Structure 1
Amino acid sequence: MSEWKAICRIDDIPVLGARRVARPAGVDVAVFRNAEDQVFALLDRCPHKGGPLSQGIVFGTSVACPLHNWTLGLDDGCAKSPDEGCTPKFAVKVEGGIVHLDAGELATHAIDLERPVAGPKPFATMAILSTEES
């Protein structure tokens, strides 16, 4: 039997948008709401390059990653063809206008994945072009 954790009111999630749920370990969870008030939850990390799915565009039952426009299904977390890969999904229920996530999944699901790091690579690891190569 699942223990459910209240996250927010459904109205706290913008229509065709998302809300991030921070966790003590691992990557945040993105909770999405589509135009039909369906609610979905995925790890806030695209399987391609780690883009923040919570910043993507929601349409139908899909979200487009903001980095490279990969389309992922909100119901299964999998990329649409021709792209490949999946991001973990989380169980969601809405009762009385309150969105709940499975507490056990929040505590254990995909906590071994690292948060993506934004910004340029550190200088020491960047390749330096010589004047002969440029």
Structure 2
Amino acid sequence: MIVVFDAQCLLCNGWVRFLLRHDRAGRIRFASMQGATGRRLLAGVGLQVDGLQTLLVIEGGRSWQHTAAILRVLHRLGWPWRLAWLGWLVPAPVRDALYRRVARNRYRIWGRSETCLVPAPGMATRFLD
């Protein structure tokens, strides 16, 4: 599983740090949308970096965006995070409307960094760029 994230977004960086902490099996890898690999993965599913307001998850030739991406990743983490799978009971238009609202305001609320997330030495191999 590959998570393509906005490396300038402090909320997104927090999400990546959360995943690094809780993915003890080390199965999730990461690519920033500002890097070459992230851009290639985004282009492969028809997305462009400019103005992008979604998280992208790619696994086994399939891709997910918005809340579907979050729910997919949380399911992968196992228990107790797998309970988030109940989020599928909420209709996607409702879940994704909230997601898009947060995504539109993420820089204003959480801030923006001009430097990329620097992973700990033991985690660097999980980053594709």
What's the TM-score bracket when you normalise by the shorter of the two chains?
A: under 0.3
**Greater strand content:** 1
TM-score scaled by length of structure 2 = 0.27
* Greater gyration radius: 1
Work out which structure has the larger RCO, using CA pairs closer than 8 Å and 6 or more positions apart in sequence. Answer: 2
